Structure 1
Amino acid sequence: MLDTESVRRRRAWAQALAGGVREASPEAVVRRVCALQAQDALAADLGIRARGRNITAAAVRAAYEDERSIVRGWYLRGTLHTVCSEDARWILALLAPRILAATGRRYHQLGLHEDLRRRADHLLRQVLTTHGPLTRAELTGHLTRLGIPPDGQAPFHLIRHAALTGVLCHGPRRAGEATYVLLEDWLPADGVRWDQEAALAELARRYLAAHAPAGAEDFAVWSGLPLSWARRAWGTLAQAGAITADGDLTTLAGRAGERGYPPDAPDAPDTPEMPEVPDAPEAPDVRMLPAYDNYLLAYRTRDVCVPAAHQARVWPGGGIIRPTVLADGLAVATWARREAGRSITVHPFAPLPPRVASAVDGEISDVSRFCARSV
């Protein structure tokens, strides 16, 4: 049975947040974590920075806009996430029907009946074909042609509906503001296609590659899928011999842990094993995570990564999740930035050991550097 420290160290290592692990590019970071929480665009960029080695804000923007290797959209739990572009379509096909169904009551409250939503999808496709990329305000202006009031939540829900139905996705930023583009124009159409069961198993495998040790309940919380679906995915992976259990927690077994390797692929000779998690380093591995980071949201409980006595400082209520400082995967402080990142204040839960404090100073400098270039 794994103890709490071992679970935390393995999870942080899987997320490229401990053990000295850092990825070389924004695409590599996103591929490793499967999906990066992105309702705050700068926080998402800072999440990539925390997991990368010397990654600049310009490199992140290039990955989104020039390489188009990563893309932002409504995926897990109907919340904005960044995923690898090649994964966008199959993840959307798996998750969007349930998100749309769960939003039905809100559509009804806003008077957005099915025919109106369909006409809005058609209109947004037309205006993006002619005028795109367009900002949310610009799309809202076009939606008034359907009698949609420009204020309130209706325009947002229609834009989000068009994203969930595969009409549009986030495109290049303009003067710091997100724009939207046609999905079919922005991303290549040659990505992997899965039927529902294969897609469900693949998403579960990707989750475990990025978050294990974890359980089916954790996967359900992270994905927003029903627990019955999560258990079904676990069953598929177990039948394929792709997972091993240690009490209530599960890890990937052997070749199933390779990035992009499907769980139902045929066996091959000389199958490589999952890499071993490195031993705890002598020097602490300190990372400054942004608000709403995956590492704090991907599990049913929080006790492994944030001490119970300090959870209210990270989750103060009102849907807020504050930026945190990790030392070897354990939250030891919160932090805040002001003046576009030029001023950063760290609020430790307790006095920091000298080596941790020194590493925090290095992270503060790097966050300031990143934010300055981002601005």
Structure 2
Amino acid sequence: MTRIGTRTLNRTTLERQLLLERAGLSIVDAAERLLGLNAQGPNLPYLALWNRLREFEIKDLTAAIEDGTLVRSTLMRATQHLLSVPDFRLIRPAVAPLLVRVQRNAWGKATTGIDLDALVADARRLLADGPLTRPQLGKRLAESRPGADPTALGWTVQYLEPLVHPAPSGTWNVHGATPFASAEWTGVTGKADLPEMIRRYLAAFGPASVSDARAWSGVGGLKEIFEEMRPELRTYTDENGRELFDLPDATLASEELPAPVRLVPDFDAPLLAFADRTRVMTDEVRKAVCIGASVAATVLVDGTVAAKWSTKKTKDAVELTVEPLRKLSTVERAAIEEEAGRLLEFTDPGAVVKVGI
């Protein structure tokens, strides 16, 4: 097997994730190329695409969410993601066992004695009349289940039934209660195609190990699927001897490719898509970026995490603060300030802007 250096893995990941050069793709094509956008917060998909697409505008992504071209739901790692409808049909059945396990671990005790199949069937009937928020749905379901915890019922349905969260939820700067709507219109079924999910994962993030694919998806049992697929995949080893898989016709990026400064948002995919994240950050940096369930907004310099960033807004001004995680050169600081200024022009046009490092 060919050995791949960490820098080659870094450049290949950034290239596949559109972080070496902004692309002229449509929003849907980009979302499918990236295999989804993290949507834990409403603005995160917008910031992710701003970093990756030329001439990207907020209204374009909002329109794609409003017309249902892209849907938001609980998916990989049991977290919120924004995907195209075809990709939702691919991913939702694949992560179904994960979501069943999460429900059991988080709400199993609170739903002991409740017929979960009947609960889901009742939820479907209620949602047939239109979207409900999780508290509203839980309260309605509890009406026929005396003593049941409405919160547990709402969360249980979120994990066990394919649902989407319709606009305006999930659009730019829209916060508040998340509505649930039936996903039946998407054509999602219960049949999982794990080999196709793996192919798509490798296209977006490869070369990668079995553990990497598990970390990205939260899905177990992938070792056996990779073994079945071995004849159709290419294999490599990394600098630590780990076996990596890739698509047979996928190319590796040159380690000499330049990597421009990028200010990626919280939970951005390359920071979460691997069990071994040394291709994008050192273990020491990871401890500062990944704290508990949170993953900070980060600054990529020469392709790796060099700082964290955050913003603070007042009525007429916005300040972006960069917290270095290593020593930055004068040239690097200037490049970060320039990119940060462009980002604030996108997020807060017309505001008084200040960038501090």
TM-score bin (small chain) = 0.7 to 0.9
**Pair 334,105 (structure 1): closer, same or farther in 2 beyond 3 Å:** closer
Please say if residues 140 and 150 of structure 1, whose CA atoms lie closer than 8 Å, have aligned partners that are also in contact. no
Residue 322 (structure 1) aligned with residue 318 (structure 2): no
Displacement of 1:236: 3.1
- Which amino acid is 2:229 matched to? L
Kindly indicate whether the alpha-carbon contact (under 8 Å) linking 1:24 and 1:55 is maintained by their aligned counterparts in 2.
Answer: no
Q: Once the 2 structures are TM-superposed, how far is the Cα of residue 61 of structure 1 from its aligned partner?
A: 1.4
Q: Does 1:60 align with 2:58?
A: no
SS in 1 for 2:167: strand
What residue ranges of structure 2 are gaps of 5+ in the alignment? 350-357
Task: Supply the AA of the counterpart residue of 2:227.
Answer: G
The alpha-carbon deviation at position 366 of structure 1 amounts to: 3.6
| Structure 2 SS opposite 1:346 | strand
Q: How far, CA to CA, are the matches of 2:85 and 2:60 in structure 1?
A: 16
Letter in 1 for 2:40: Q
- From the superposition, tell whether residues 148 and 53 of structure 1 become closer, same or farther in structure 2 (CA, over 3 Å): farther
Aligned partner of 2:199 among 186, 200, 205: 205
Alignment of 1:144-159 (within 5 A): 144-147=142-145, 153-159=151-157
1:245 aligns with 2:220: no
> For the Cα contact (< 8 Å) 1:69–1:85, is it kept in 2?
yes
Name whichever structure is richer in helix by fraction.
Answer: 1
1:181–1:99 distance in 2 versus 1, CA, 3 Å: closer
Which range moved further: 348-357 or 143-152? 143-152
3-state SS of 1:173 partner: coil
SS of the aligned residue for 2:166 comes to: strand
**Against the structure 1 CA distance between its residues 112 and 160, is the aligned structure 2 distance closer, same or farther, given a 3 Å change threshold?**
farther
Q: TM-score, normalised by structure 2?
A: 0.83
The corresponding residue for 2:161 is 165
Quick check: 1:7 aligned with 2:42?
A: no
Whole-Å separation in 2 of the counterparts to 1:14 and 1:361: 26
**Pair 342,278 (structure 1): closer, same or farther in 2 beyond 3 Å:** farther
Q: Mapping of 1:20-99 within 5 angstroms?
A: 20-66=21-67, 68-99=68-99
Paired position in structure 2 for 1:231: 223
Alignment partner of 1:126 is 2:125? yes
User: What displacement does 1:290 show?
Assistant: 1.1
- Going from structure 1 to structure 2, the CA distance change for 1:249 and 1:334 (only over 3 Å counts) comes to same
| Rounded Cα–Cα distance in structure 2 between residues aligned with 1:221 and 1:342 | 35
Amino acid at match of 2:58: A
How far apart, CA to CA, are the structure 2 residues paired with 1:216 and 1:113?
A: 37
Which residue does 1:264 correspond to in 2?
none
The root-mean-square deviation of aligned C-alpha atoms, in Å, is: 2.8
Amino acid at match of 2:223: R
Residues 305 and 96 (structure 1 numbering): CA distance in 2 closer, same or farther, change over 3 Å? same
Unaligned runs of 5+ residues in structure 1 are 255-273
d(CA) in 2 for partners of 1:327, 1:279: 14
Q: What's 2:137 paired with? A: 139
Distance verdict in 2 for CA 1:133–1:224, change over 3 Å: same
Per-residue CA deviation, residues 304-356 of structure 1 (Å, 9 max, x unaligned), is 211333332212x3322111001232011100122289321111223433443
Q: CA separation in 2, counterparts of 1:21 and 1:148?
A: 55
Distance in 1 separating the partners of 2:206 and 2:32: 15
Contact 2:94 2:219 in 1 (8 A): no
Letter in 2 for 1:208: L
Deviations 1:253-289 (A, max 9, x none): 12xxxxxxxxxxxxxxxxxxx456356445x411111
Closer, same or farther in 2 for the Cα pair 1:12/1:149, shift >3 Å?
A: farther
Equivalent runs, 1:158-307 vs 2, <5 Å: 158-161=156-159, 164-166=160-162, 168-173=163-168, 176-177=175-176, 178-185=178-185, 187=186, 189=187, 196=192, 199-226=193-220, 229-239=221-231, 241-246=232-237, 248-254=243-249, 274=250, 277=253, 280-281=256-257, 284-307=259-282
Counterpart amino acid of residue 320 in structure 2? I
Partner deviation per Cα, 1:98-134 (whole Å, 9 max, x = no partner): 421453243331135451x33432333233222x233
Further displaced range: 4-13 or 94-103? 94-103
Once the two structures are TM-superposed, the CA of residue 33 in structure 1 deviates from its matched residue by 1.6
C-alpha separation in 1, matches of 2:80 and 2:152: 18
Measured in 2, the distance between the counterparts of 1:154 and 1:306 equals 37
Counterpart contact for 1:170–1:180, Cα < 8 Å = yes
Give the 3 Å change call, closer, same or farther, for CA 292–304 of structure 1 in structure 2: same
Q: Residue 43 of structure 2 aligns to a residue in which SS?
A: helix
User: How many residues get paired?
Assistant: 336
Contact 2:142-2:150 within 8 A present in 1 as well: no
Amino acid at match of 2:264: L
Counterparts in 2 of 1:21 and 1:369: CA distance versus 1, 3 Å: closer
1:338 matched residue in structure 2: 312
Higher mean C-alpha displacement, 8-17 vs 152-161: 152-161
Question: 1:23, 1:29 within 8 Å by CA — same for their partners in 2?
Answer: no
Q: How many angstroms apart in 1 are the aligned matches of 2:267 and 2:73?
A: 16
The question of whether the paired residues in 1 share the 8 Å contact of 2:311 and 2:320 is answered with yes
> In structure 2, how many angstroms separate the alpha carbons of the residues matched to 1:113 and 1:344?
51
Equivalences for residues 303-314 of structure 1 within 5 A? 303-314=278-289
1:332 counterpart letter in structure 2: A
